[in-house]
Structure 1
C-alpha cells in the first residue's frame, strides 16, 4: 500500500466534540449523584443522545487491549477492563464505545480479518467522533525480535550479539521493517478518515520497554548488555515513524514513551509499568494496569489540546 503523495491538512474542528465531552464529564457526574436518589428512575424518559457526545472506537494490538491485565473481558483478543481504551471511555462518558483491539493484530488486521476476529475498521461508523490507533509492533515482529535477543543474550552475555544478527552485511533489518510499515500506517489512517470523517484520531506510541539511559539489567532480562541500548533505539525509531505518519494525516500522536521512562522492565515491582515476564499483572513485555493508566492520562491530555 503506497504512501500518499500529499499529506492532508489536519481538520481541527473534529476535536470539538471530544473537548466538550471531557469538560462535561465532571458536570455529568454531579448530575448523576443528584438523580441517583430518585424513587422511580424507570419512569424518566430516555434522553436523546447529545450532539456533542463521544462515540469512541479503539483499534490496536495487545499493547492497547491490555493483554493479561485482570479483569480480562475477552479471552480471544486479550482485552481488559483496565486497558487505556476502557479508562478513556469511562472518563469522557462515551455515549458509545467499541473496543476492537486484539492481541497479535498488525496493520493488515485493520482491514482484513484476524482468524475469527473481523477487521477492526469494521467497527467504525460515520458518526464516530474519537478513534485511537495503537498498531505497528507486530508488523516488526517485536515479540519475535525480543525472543531472539534473549536467546542470543544467554549465549553471549556481553557485546551486542542481537544487534549484530540484525545488521549483517551493513543492513538494518529492523530499520527496514519500520520503513516498510510506514506506508501501511498511512493507509490505515486514510481509511479511518474515509469511514469516520468527523472523528478525532489519536495514534499511540509504545511505552519504554528498556531503560532510556541504556543500562542493562541482566538479572531481570537476559539480553546482552550492549543490546539494551540498541533495543531502546529501535523502539524510539518506531515511535518516530508513528509520530510522522500521524502528523502527515492530521492525526494526533500520543507520546506514551516519555511518561514511562523509569518504569521499564528493569524497574522493581511496584515501580515498573512493563512486566519482564508473564505475571498476574500482565503479559510479559507488556504494560500492566499502572502503565495503561498512564497511557489513558496521555490520551486524555491530548484531547484537551
Structure 2
C-alpha cells in the first residue's frame, strides 16, 4: 500500500511513502520471480566464436532485474536479455557480465552484499575483478544508487493532487550527492584504464524515465516532481558525460533516443516501467524492449 504525501492510505500501488530500504526493489512477488529464474543462467556468446573480451559493469539499469531469464547471483537480478547480453550478441564477443542491482561506484573495488525481499543472498566480488589486461571493451552504467534516485522517486509518489511537491524536500540533497558522485566516477574510470589499458571504455547515461510534466495519476508524481526527478537524472547524466569525456571514454546518451518511450507511454511503446510495471521488469527500471533498444544505441555508436 502507498501512503500519499497527505498521509491517507491507498491500496492501488505497491509502494510506501517514505524512503525505500536497500534492496526493496526486488521484494514480494518480484523476489519470487527472481528466485524462480535463478537456475536459468546462460552466456551470450560461446568463447570459440568470440573475437574480443567484453566486460559489463554497473547497476540495475544495466543488469535488468526481473527480465527473463535470470543469470548469475540471484541478488544481482541479472538478465540474459540486459543490454550487455544483447550487445555481446551483436558484437560476437566473449561477455563477462558482472552488473548487479544495487551497485554503487564503491562496488567496483569492494564486495557487495545482496538480498531479495529482505533475505540475505550473500555477497558478490568487486566488479573490477572481471577486468583483465586483455579486455577489449568495457561498458559501465553507474551513479543511480550513488545519488539515490530510485528511493527518492518512491518518496515522491502521491495520488493526492493537492499534496506538497517533494522537490523542496530533496532538491539540495540530490544536488549534493550528484556533486559528490563526480570524483567517485573519475576514480572508477581511472581504475578501469589501469586494469584494462587496451579496452574501449563506453559509459552510458540513464534514459528518459518520465516526460515533461509527467502524466499524473498514470504515474503518481505531480508535474513539478516529474520535472524534478527527470531533471535530476539529466544532471547526473551531465556528470557522467563530463567525466567520461575527460577520461577518453565514449559517452552514450540514452535520453534523446528514449523520447516517446518513457513510463507515461503505452505498454507497447515504453522502454522503462513505472511504479506498477506492465511488463516483467522491476519498477522504475528498463524492460526488455528498453534493454534491447539501449544495446542497439550502443551498438550503433560502436559501429556494430
TM-score (norm 2): 0.77
Secondary structure of 1:161's partner?
Answer: coil
Distance 1:135 1:90 in 2: 22
Shift >6 Å, 4+ stretches: none
- Determine which structure has the larger helix proportion and give its number: 1
Q: Is structure 2 residue 130 aligned with structure 1 residue 123?
A: yes
Give how far 1:88 is off. 0.8
Secondary structure of 1:297's partner?
Answer: helix
TM-score (norm 1): 0.77
Task: Please give the per-residue CA displacement for 1:271-295, whole angstroms capped at 9, x wherever unaligned.
Answer: 1111112454211010111101111
Q: Which has the larger radius of gyration?
A: 1
Among candidates 155, 162, 169, match of residue 165 of structure 1: 169
Among candidates 145, 148, 162, match of residue 141 of structure 1: 148
Specify every segment of 5 or more residues in structure 1 that has no aligned partner in the other structure, as ranges: 1-45
Higher relative contact order (CA closer than 8 Å, sequence separation 6+): 1
1:1-305 equivalences under 5 Å are 53-74=51-72, 75-94=74-93, 96-115=94-113, 116-150=123-157, 153-155=158-160, 157-158=161-162, 161-167=165-171, 172-211=172-211, 214-276=212-274, 277-304=276-303
RMSD (CA atoms): 1.9
Distance 2:296 2:184 in 1: 27
Specify every segment of 5 or more residues in structure 2 that has no aligned partner in the other structure, as ranges: 1-46, 114-122
- Residues 63 and 76 in structure 2, CA contact (< 8 A), matched pair in contact too: yes
Task: Please give the per-residue CA displacement for 1:13-56, whole angstroms capped at 9, x wherever unaligned.
Answer: xxxxxxxxxxxxxxxxxxxxxxxxxxxxxxxxx97x98xx2100
Q: 1:220 to 1:195 in 2, by over 3 A?
A: same
Distance 1:241 1:290 in 2: 26
Distance 1:283 1:224 in 2: 22
- How many residues were matched structurally? 247
